[in-house]
Structure 1
């Protein structure tokens, strides 16, 4: 259209395997006289697409560019273009400007962007999200070539991975004209629920009063199952209507490019506005909740998109279930275009029902009996797109089974007692489960099998049964115990309570402090903790504090002096039918603080001295924290960057220290990476042996060698004691060499790997003296660098003189 030809090339190629492949099309010549490159008529036109074959990313189709690639411009008038890219796979697209390509697909060396041709302050740029390319405004008449890179990105295992790329290379023809471009009314992004109608007006005005043609481009207009419709008149008034269905649901929004083009003028100008439209999945309907014992059974109707979405979305689709306690009030409902559930609204993700065809889920979380819980369900598709949250449904967990309330250690020892209690099932259906009733208590050490204790005496009335029991002969000193109670009706099992564990006190020792924490295993919620301490067996417990959360740190203690602790937990259920607080005590545990705190990493500075082939290392305590027990340092070194640091030397010093590295050449190199650690005093540890703490390393500081390998240009093997051998003038930081000497006919007469050389002017094979003359030397010096052994290659000449007189170069 508009004098532009479209040429389509088709071919088939089989690629050998995964990789990134460039698909290129080259034309021998561009138009003559393109202003933003030199010799354009002699420069090939070349475009390319990148094909990424990645088994993890899966199948991919390249982005389709739906807006033709030639636009005219008027001098000093704003210009705009949008390629209207559509990705069939729903991948995210990003846009950027790149230089045009020429010979062999390389970037054209002389290329500049259009706004760099003139000295004016015009701006040529592209929006990386929408692809809107703007020029405000052309300053010089002529032709310009520009290239747009459109990249495709896909979420692969939680990371955005590039899965493809296309290049648009287009021409802009800037002409002198009095025309002004139309002006479209800006539009904000929007959304539409699949299965509903989206309708909105599109308007434009023309400053010159010219008639206009309004059009719409983009995926919804031509690339989807249920296409949109756009009707417009020549007065700049249009109506967009789209009723997408489930087939159009995807995570990335669709982009519709609206184009207003005037006509009647010699040069027709355009204005472009983009609107991104998200197609949102409807929620599941008919959500219901029914309590079954300590669990909640959720059901809903089959999803309305079950048979309508693309297979890529249906694969891996799940229904995510979210829960909140009704006691945490919220008035949140999904807003327009809002999918999922915001984290701040008090809902907790509890699990997923796999498959779009799933219609139920069992919440087996730690639910409180008698508490009211509210649920919403969000559908999550295979591409990560979310539905609107479902309507909320609330239900109360019935108390139709016993509820554990106590598992409290009374005394600590190898054969002692625990008080175990529970609350009776006050909401049991006694018609379905008639008496007589009985309880059976079971016990197990943590990690062991359950052992049933004696069944209680039956009673005709459920509430007449005892709901507590002392359990004796338990090792409460070294084992944590679990308990559960079963209810029997007329000799048949009704069900069991959730288990409850004795609070297990764990103590972590550190320098002058002990950290106390509880390992829990009970369904009730902890509200506060009473912390007590005593100096030893037989001494009374003293209350230290009441805190709302653990761990609790007891500070200011004397190292190596043991103390004993116990913690009492005060807890509750959300249900008002269970009295609170629930008081449960841990076992008594004793520990002594030890110094396990390492000093802060010290500060290190390294100063290299190339001429001396040594480094000066200086280090000292960090000013970031106060360490009053640093008594020694360790210096670590690795010869190459990336190697494992090894201990170089230890220093017994508490203050600032200095050391020279390779001072006598003992290390063979001054290069390497260094770090320093600080050590504190030697003190007895928990087992009585002396130990000390070592800090983390300081910042690692690396220095490089300064390799030198200088060769002379003359030597005189004539029998006097001077200059008898071909040896380096100076060398350092060289591991080995490959030095070869050739005569004028190319014959090799000498070779060595010894950096000291020591050639006396004799032939390599026979040892016979060689005649005077100029010999050619090729040298590869394998220098010792921080990155490893690096070859340094060069060529030179050596003049062999045997006479007693010499005129030097």
Structure 2
């Protein structure tokens, strides 16, 4: 993703960037712009430029930098006053803050830029002419304002962008970027920029040179030298500087949320390279992963090859300290406990150890890790040796604790079977999320069939998708119980786990470690469905046989008798509107055979097995202590097998499905066919091995692969109807129901006729066309209506369908046109007269159509073209006597569509111009006055109704004489 930058012009820079005078010169070393959206509904931001000034050579200029012009990216700009100045590094540099509040009118991407007139002098890779102090300093930050992003603050950089390096040694810097919202950060190199005077625009500094230009090899002696930044950690490394001096370079920090780039910050930084025998110190980083509430006491060790004392410091959001040493704004601070570096910031002898100490709590849990930038300075003796630095990263992942003591037990509700879940109150409730948002911690309940031995690692949050858990509920963190009633099956083990989703902007809050498993199997206290098979297919008198077992998990004497089954039925494979159809009293003695019920419908509710599947379930009732029949449980519903047929080319594709508590997968299903209609006989033609799928299929091409009951193989005809039924085999997956064996069920009957998509052969077409060469000038004289006569014959081939029932004639007026259907001619007619045409021009082809409605390929394409003709006279007498008063074509012009006439007098002056569908000039000029007798020259452009749409007009040039004054032409 890339932002579209919105640039606004400004008049703030009125002074050209000339060689600076004393008050302007040599002070800016580094800087960046950060933003923070303020709470409320308006799009109001607190915008801060942090600039680092050279207080050694540019103190006066730094004093004078009391304000800086800002451009806000929305066409507005403002001179912003300095709001703070803090001296660092022994007062050799200062951190200057320029803060302004700005409100944007609407969503969009905005680039905020600021220009300071002069950099400090002596930057090696910003070479003369003029030098670096003749170049302005420009940094920018881009923000994306979008309602879906909620409150957002850009990351802040807590490590100042000023460091020292040594010639020949690898140098690294880390900005210690901290994003309070927990957004993902990515880093990439850029180049320093300068501001363009009198505008809000900028450009990369043309004379900028990559730092590797000033080195030839790396610290280990290999080559070439490298200058890189780690996209993940932000470690910017130059391996290795090769020249003493001051260098500037720039990099960009990208801010990402939910896979969307929402902002970019450019930091322009400076380092000083020295040449001395001092070697840089070394410091080690590591990664930690802790549960919120853990007290971190992490030793930080540093060494110095020269044996000198070292100073260990650390930067990061958990310290609540900004790059100028002041506290972060309250809404960016870690609360309530912030981190400390014990023994940090003081000179330590070898071996040196400081301790990173942080009492974490629920507020700190988030998806993204906290990066703590560790820095070590050596402390060389005397004033002549520069202190060198090294960096490392302590990466800390703080995850929310798991929900504790999850349990599950069976229970009952008004809707039937259920499982009761209970757990301890969640320990990370009532916390404050980043950005001051209200607590949105949720407990997500997951379920799967079957128990699992999964034990997550301490830093593995959430549940891997590979485990097969499905989300079934989302509850507030205050909940401690949940009743699951959703589609639970008897005899199935259900595994439950809970994951907490913590508050945060977007998905930055992260997930907790999953709870321990609670796994439970519901006892079999309901009957078990074993068959729903279609006996008879009819729209009014259908018949289905239904079977079920007694409650297998219930023993005699456990519940009071008498007992009762109540059979219910619903329409459709997924029907849920069950109605009672039978009540059956029963006993529950072991070994009792299945209960069988034959459903024939009723006079008021016919069983239409032709058009519908049916679904059944059985309620089981016992007698309670008060002598009342009480429902104990209900079976899982089971539907009849529904068969569908899809005719195809000389074949029929069958598909069938059922919605049952048993599985029909990985079984052999039988397909039966009748060639004599629904009355049979039916022969088994295939045994289909089906795999896991909601819908099973088989394509019948006429072959009979099961010949034990007779071989009925022969091709399917488009003139015949074929009837089918399918028998499925199924089995319960639960091992406790394996004794029920293989369950057999028949579908309804269905009949279908295959199609035949074989094409007829293409016809051969002929056309009676004009022979222009044989026409005289008077041929077709006065004729305005024409006829094209088409004749064709049908070609034959063994691969073509000879059963042609009609022909389609296609016509296109121009040869460039794609012909469209003109008329359909019933067979056996083999001709067509296309009448009432204004021109014979046009193209045709013919197709044949079979009895099955299949159209042949087009015939050969034939075209007819017009024979154009236009002859003009060379004299006319426009004297009003009604004879030869007009300059018009001689008799019998042919196929003229348009005429354009231009007339010139003998001096070459145009006297008339006009156009029309036919030429008819009355001898008047363009202004309507009579032209005198005399000789005139003309040019006529004639458009004809030809076959070529783009045919050029015919141009006729000649002369004509006008005779007036009593002259009559007969």
TM-score (structure 1 length as normaliser): 0.70
**Measured at CA, do residues 107 and 306 of structure 1 come closer, stay the same or move farther in structure 2, by a change above 3 Å?**
same
1:257 match: 373
**Measured at CA, do residues 509 and 268 of structure 1 come closer, stay the same or move farther in structure 2, by a change above 3 Å?**
farther
2:93 match: 4
**Measured at CA, do residues 596 and 408 of structure 1 come closer, stay the same or move farther in structure 2, by a change above 3 Å?**
farther
1:470 matched to 2:598? The reply is yes
1:587 matched to 2:748? The reply is yes
SS in structure 2 of the partner of residue 129 of structure 1 = coil
**Measured at CA, do residues 15 and 173 of structure 1 come closer, stay the same or move farther in structure 2, by a change above 3 Å?**
same
1:193 match: 291
Query: Superposed, which structure 2 residues align to 1:132-531 within 5 Å?
Result: 132-155=235-258, 160-187=259-286, 189-222=287-320, 223-225=333-335, 226-232=337-343, 233-235=348-350, 236-264=352-380, 266-292=385-411, 293-310=416-433, 312=437, 314-315=439-440, 317-326=442-451, 330-344=452-466, 346-383=467-504, 384=507, 385-414=510-539, 415-427=541-553, 434-446=560-572, 449-457=577-585, 467-473=595-601, 474-489=607-622, 490-511=628-649, 514-527=652-665, 528-531=667-670
Measured after TM superposition, the shift of residue 212 of structure 1 is: 0.8
In structure 1, what is the Cα distance between the partners aligned to 2:481 and 2:726?
A: 45
In structure 2, what is the Cα distance between the partners aligned to 1:171 and 1:32?
A: 12
Q: How many residues align?
A: 617
**Measured at CA, do residues 252 and 468 of structure 1 come closer, stay the same or move farther in structure 2, by a change above 3 Å?**
same
In structure 2, what is the Cα distance between the partners aligned to 1:483 and 1:648?
A: 58
**Measured at CA, do residues 362 and 583 of structure 1 come closer, stay the same or move farther in structure 2, by a change above 3 Å?**
farther
Give the conservation status (yes or no) of the 8 Å contact 1:151–1:162: yes
- CA deviations on 1:298-341 (whole Å, 9 max, x unpaired) are 22222111123526584263413132413xxx532111311122
1:806 match: none
Give the conservation status (yes or no) of the 8 Å contact 2:399–2:512: yes
SS in structure 2 of the partner of residue 13 of structure 1 = strand
Measured after TM superposition, the shift of residue 718 of structure 1 is: 13
Give the conservation status (yes or no) of the 8 Å contact 2:569–2:580: yes
**Measured at CA, do residues 465 and 118 of structure 1 come closer, stay the same or move farther in structure 2, by a change above 3 Å?**
closer
In structure 2, what is the Cα distance between the partners aligned to 1:556 and 1:247?
A: 68
Give the conservation status (yes or no) of the 8 Å contact 2:176–2:373: yes
Query: Superposed, which structure 2 residues align to 1:562-581 within 5 Å?
Result: 562-563=721-722, 564-574=724-734, 576-577=736-737, 579-581=740-742
Give the conservation status (yes or no) of the 8 Å contact 1:535–1:562: no
In the alignment, structure 1 segments of 5+ residues that lack a partner are: 599-627, 630-645, 652-679, 695-716, 726-764, 766-809
SS in structure 2 of the partner of residue 308 of structure 1 = coil
2:767 match: none
SS in structure 1 of the partner of residue 363 of structure 2 = helix
2:959 match: none
Give the conservation status (yes or no) of the 8 Å contact 1:149–1:168: yes
In structure 2, what is the Cα distance between the partners aligned to 1:718 and 1:34?
A: 83
**Measured at CA, do residues 481 and 80 of structure 1 come closer, stay the same or move farther in structure 2, by a change above 3 Å?**
same
- CA deviations on 1:471-513 (whole Å, 9 max, x unpaired) are 1242222211011212233334444333221121233444565
In structure 2, what is the Cα distance between the partners aligned to 1:298 and 1:575?
A: 26
TM-score (structure 2 length as normaliser): 0.59
In structure 2, what is the Cα distance between the partners aligned to 1:509 and 1:371?
A: 40
Give the conservation status (yes or no) of the 8 Å contact 2:365–2:502: no
In structure 1, what is the Cα distance between the partners aligned to 2:656 and 2:230?
A: 55
SS in structure 2 of the partner of residue 576 of structure 1 = helix
Give the conservation status (yes or no) of the 8 Å contact 1:203–1:238: yes
2:844 match: none
Give the conservation status (yes or no) of the 8 Å contact 2:489–2:522: yes
**Measured at CA, do residues 201 and 316 of structure 1 come closer, stay the same or move farther in structure 2, by a change above 3 Å?**
closer
Measured after TM superposition, the shift of residue 402 of structure 1 is: 2.9
In the alignment, structure 2 segments of 5+ residues that lack a partner are: 1-87, 196-200, 218-223, 321-332, 602-606, 623-627, 703-714, 760-798, 801-815, 822-846, 859-903, 911-926, 928-970
In structure 2, what is the Cα distance between the partners aligned to 1:500 and 1:692?
A: 49
SS in structure 2 of the partner of residue 220 of structure 1 = helix
Query: Superposed, which structure 2 residues align to 1:30-69 within 5 Å?
Result: 30-38=119-127, 39=130, 40-69=132-161
In structure 2, what is the Cα distance between the partners aligned to 1:119 and 1:59?
A: 47
SS in structure 2 of the partner of residue 5 of structure 1 = strand
In structure 1, what is the Cα distance between the partners aligned to 2:150 and 2:856?
A: 54
Say what the alpha-carbon RMSD is for the aligned residues.
Answer: 3.5
1:15 match: 104
1:539 match: 682
**Measured at CA, do residues 386 and 217 of structure 1 come closer, stay the same or move farther in structure 2, by a change above 3 Å?**
same
In structure 2, what is the Cα distance between the partners aligned to 1:382 and 1:372?
A: 33
Measured after TM superposition, the shift of residue 280 of structure 1 is: 0.9
Measured after TM superposition, the shift of residue 387 of structure 1 is: 1.0
SS in structure 2 of the partner of residue 56 of structure 1 = helix
Give the conservation status (yes or no) of the 8 Å contact 2:312–2:374: yes
